[in-house]
């Protein structure tokens, strides 16, 4: 079985330091990279003075990992200036992909308590920020987000896509991305690019089966970093794929970021519309404009006989838009092609079929209306 990060941390937590504590308890472990039975990591001492005394610790750390079954182990010892101690019990977050071996290791991590700020701020170098929201899960919000981002890029816009669904990130799969973002200076994350769209997601920092187990403050800190410490610029529009519901991420985004507005996605069935109304009410309470509504899974056309069926009803979102005075941006069909394209990492909006044209129509409306 391949080694895990937890096994390595457990082994290194037994390595005592000259002035007390262990590599893990003193938060000196950085850039743990596992490639089969090859392991590399960085030991970052808080001062050059301590680093000069830690060569035996570095050698012991390499031996401890070899004892776990690794055939090749590389531990780099480095030092930075004194830094503020980490509060007891605070999670170390998720490390971002690291610099090349031999260079100074970045210390940037995703997750942690947010940095206080006076009020809403803009995302540097981004003209417009649009949140894609839903009142409940399962209505296709993430599919709409990825396809809308691609459709806007095909309209000539410079587009970014932030996967803010930190507990359930899906954009890496939908956008066909599997690499890890880099943070060469330890401060700024370089987003990956898929289909002409800059993309950042917690899913790019985790294995597909790895979970994020964080309380609200960690979520808020991560969102703040993903907005402010990613090299988004220059962008015409940043699409933010929100988690379902009306929780911490939505509240933080609306209160701490200058949003152009939000788009609410719903299926036409009554149960989904009930939750969509709650999402609309949340944005109204937070004084965030709702730019429009999208009806997803609007209709199904049988590929064999051409019969049109309304599996979730039809027209409910359009009627809701008319009742509330919110613009109706369009409807997206329920289609096997959309699902297959998303699972394959090639959003259907890349094509010119009926599904791609549906997204193109919504993108044109946003551009022509000055919203994107």
- Give the span between the Cα atoms of 310 and 118, in whole angstroms: 48
pLDDT in tens, 158-171: 999 999 988 889 99
Does residue 107 carry a pLDDT above 50?
Answer: no
Residue with tokens 């996605």: 265
Is the Cβ–Cβ distance between 40 and 77 less than 8 Å?
no
Place of tokens 């090859």: 38
What's the rounded Cα separation, in Å, for the pair 107 and 94? Answer: 11
Task: Assign 54 a pLDDT band (cuts: 50, 70, 90).
Answer: confident
d(CA 38, CA 33) in angstroms, rounded, equals 8
Task: Identify the top-confidence range among 30-39, 264-273, 302-311, 342-351.
Answer: 342-351
Mean pLDDT computed over 23-28: 84
pLDDT, tens digit, 9 for 90 and up, residues 335-366: 989 999 999 999 999 999 999 999 999 999 99
For 325, the token pair is 């005075």
- In DSSP notation, 38-85 reads EEEEEEEESSHHHHTT-HHHHHHHHHHHHTTT-SEEEEEEEE----PP
Does residue 159 sit in helix, strand or coil?
strand
Largest CA distance in the chain: 77
3-state secondary structure of 10: helix
What mean pLDDT comes out for the span 226-253? 90
Question: What's the distance, Cα to Cα, between the start and end of the chain in Å?
Answer: 48
Residues 111-170: pLDDT tens digits? 766 676 767 889 999 999 999 999 878 899 999 999 999 999 999 999 999 999 888 899
Is 185 a residue whose pLDDT tops 50? Answer: yes
Domain range 5-82, its CATH number among 3.30.300.130, 3.90.180.10, 3.40.30.10, 3.40.640.10: 3.30.300.130
Alpha helices in 164-307 (DSSP H): 171-174, 216-228, 248-256, 270-285
Domain 126-368 annotated CATH 3.40.50.300: yes
The answer to which of 108-112, 161-165, 218-222 has the lowest mean pLDDT is 108-112
Local confidence band at 74 (pLDDT 50, 70, 90 cut-offs):
confident
- Statement: residue 103 has pLDDT above 50: no
How do the domains of the chain map onto residue ranges?
Answer: 5-82, 126-368
DSSP 3-state of 224:
helix
CB 181 within 8 A of CB 175: no
pLDDT of 2 > 60? The answer is yes
């Amino acid at each position: 079985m391949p080694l895990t990060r937890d096994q390595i941390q457990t082994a290194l937590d037994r390595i005592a330091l000259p002035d007390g504590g262990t590599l893990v308890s003193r938060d000196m472990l950085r850039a743990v990279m596992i490639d089969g039975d090859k392991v590399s990591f960085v030991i970052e001492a808080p001062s050059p003075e301590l680093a000069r005394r830690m060569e035996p610790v570095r050698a012991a750390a390499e031996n401890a990992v070899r004892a776990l079954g690794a055939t090749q182990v590389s531990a780099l010892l480095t030092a930075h200036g004194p830094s503020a101690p980490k509060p007891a019990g605070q999670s170390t977050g998720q490390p971002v992909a690291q610099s090349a071996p031999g260079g100074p290791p970045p210390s940037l991590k995703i997750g942690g308590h947010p940095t206080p700020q006076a009020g809403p701020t803009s995302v540097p170098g981004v003209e417009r920020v649009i949140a894609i929201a839903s009142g409940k899960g399962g209505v296709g919000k993430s599919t709409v987000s990825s396809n809308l981002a691609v459709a806007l890029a095909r309209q000539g816009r410079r587009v970014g896509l932030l996967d803010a669904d930190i507990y359930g990130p899906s954009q890496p799969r939908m956008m066909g991305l599997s690499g890890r973002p880099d943070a060469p200076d330890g401060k700024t994350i370089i987003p990956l690019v898929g289909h002409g769209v800059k993309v950042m997601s917690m899913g790019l920092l985790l294995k597909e089966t790895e979970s994020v187990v964080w309380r609200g403050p960690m979520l808020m800190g991560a969102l703040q970093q993903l907005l402010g410490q990613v090299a988004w610029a220059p962008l015409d529009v940043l699409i933010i794929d929100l988690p379902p519901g009306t929780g911490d991420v939505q509240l933080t985004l609306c209160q701490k970021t200058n949003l152009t507005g939000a788009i609410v996605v719903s299926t036409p069935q009554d149960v989904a519309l009930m939750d969509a109304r709650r999402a609309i009410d949340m944005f109204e309470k937070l004084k965030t404009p709702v730019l429009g509504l999208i009806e997803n899974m609007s209709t199904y056309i049988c590929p064999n006989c051409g019969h049109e069926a309304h599996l979730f009803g039809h027209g409910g979102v359009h009627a809701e838009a008319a009742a509330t005075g919110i613009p109706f941006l369009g409807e997206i069909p329920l289609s096997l092609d959309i699902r297959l394209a998303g699972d394959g990492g090639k959003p259907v909006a890349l094509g010119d079929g009926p599904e791609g044209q549906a997204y193109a129509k919504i993108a044109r409306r946003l551009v022509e209306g000055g919203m994107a």
